[in-house]
Structure 1
């Protein structure tokens, strides 16, 4: 069975607001049915759900860093919107923890939380959805939201940069393992995105410095990233499986 271009069942993790909301909106506008996942921001996730065009969408809550919780999220999404054709691993945490000034106990807590949500949650959901696709013999897509920070370093957010690098590597490993089953896996590596979570950093001198990182003199909109993810999840993007797509407005160039 080949992946269709529209009318698919899509699970977007961490879709309460920001990029997650833009991702859910892009797939809904494409004619897909979207399972809007949230970890703790149920009210925000409901706003996302209510904003979506089309019908057949659903809300799914749960802790994806827990093996039982991740399985439940994937299974409830499939029950609500249909067997999942596309998984977008967007859920992540990104709390500051500079190594020089963060006490050891807090340092350990930050690393455990980042590993649990950013990496383990992505691995657990990917495994659950992939096995559903394999059982159905249905070509599908998994798209991971990585980060520019995986390549340029994140001195104040080192666990975030490290886990996003691991997410990129996981995606490439899954691309090789799942390709024989018609399942494409790709990742995007965005730079700075204008979302609610980082709005405070885009004001004043810090905001000017961040925008100056790109020759375009701005940061990305969530919609720009969502459009790229929508393409990577399409039937036309099968040959892009295994890629890590830079989406940073030339703010960081890698060889």
Structure 2
């Protein structure tokens, strides 16, 4: 199967590093016009844009997706320059530790609000504007990056697990409502992935134990997630809409 995204526009949130960067690099190598968003790390975003293969109409935008008005303004600017959106990869998210036995209530509340606003509400708003454009143009693909934590729980990051569980339910609801408009919604649920966000954990003493959770004795590489996103984004995979695919190296099995 030869993947080719020529004349396709792919929007990747959190595309400056980690899974998002791997997706940006892969889609660009497959001839897509790639747009990435970043929140605070402008240096990484600019570096990623300059590294993208294929001299397409690539771009980067600053976006704080936790704020609804920012999402709306972003899409107004985006659609001024790109009249078509073929693929949205919702990758951006935050992973904040908040141990219930240690944290003060004010910080507990703040962490929950930030996490849900970014990982769930922000993604919902991105899906809203993207799907409205995709309805207008006759179809498209939405790929939402979830997590193994939505199923097995995250005792030190409960808001993160809750946000991803909500993301799964939202994505499946949208898969049903958007199918008549030829829009498919796909969910990828990785376990631990070797990224900047997880580096402090994987490089600590617990890192070896995390790797041993998988019989492969490692965590996923960002490229492995990116390749799956590219497959789902290609033509011929519309009937996988609403499905949740695990990519955790058999570290957590569910039926």
Question: What interval of TM-score do these two structures reach, taking the shorter chain for normalisation?
Answer: over 0.9
**In the TM superposition, what are the counterparts of 1:171-210 in structure 2 within 5 Å?**
171-210=171-210
Contact persistence 2:149–2:161 (CA under 8 A): yes
Once residues 87 and 39 of structure 1 are traced to their aligned partners in structure 2, the CA distance between those partners, rounded to angstroms, is 17
Q: Which is further off, 233-242 or 68-77?
A: 68-77
Q: Aligned Cα RMSD in Å?
A: 1.3
In terms of mean alpha carbon deviation, does 58-67 or 30-39 score higher? 58-67
Question: What is residue 230 of structure 1 aligned with on the other side?
Answer: 230
Deviation at 1:207, TM superposition (A): 1.4
2:59 maps to what in 1? 58
**Does 2:146 match 1:146?**
yes
**TM-score, structure 2 normalization:** 0.95
Q: Which residue of 1 aligns with 2:162?
A: 162
Q: Secondary structure at the match of 2:144?
A: strand
State how many pairs are aligned: 251
List gaps (5 residues or longer) in structure 2: none
Q: Name the counterpart of 2:214.
A: 214
Q: Do structure 1's residue 39 and structure 2's residue 39 form an aligned pair? A: yes
CA shift, 1:100, in A, is: 1.1
CA drift at 1:240: 0.4
Match of 2:135 in 1: 134
Q: TM-score, normalised by structure 1?
A: 0.95
Looking at structure 2, the residues matched to 204 and 131 of structure 1 have their Cα atoms a distance apart, in angstroms, of: 44
Whole-angstrom distance in 1 between the partners of 2:74 and 2:250: 36
Runs of 4+ in 1 over 4 A off after TM superposition: none
What is the CA-CA distance between 1:219 and the residue it aligns to?
Answer: 0.5
Corresponding residue of 2:74: 73
Q: Distance in 1 between matches of 2:121 and 2:189?
A: 18
Contact 1:191 1:220 in 2 (8 A): yes
Give the drift of 1:5.
4.5
Q: Distance in 2 between matches of 1:189 and 1:84?
A: 23
User: Which range is displaced more, 111-120 or 65-74?
Assistant: 65-74
Q: In structure 2, what is the equivalent of residue 23 of structure 1?
A: 23
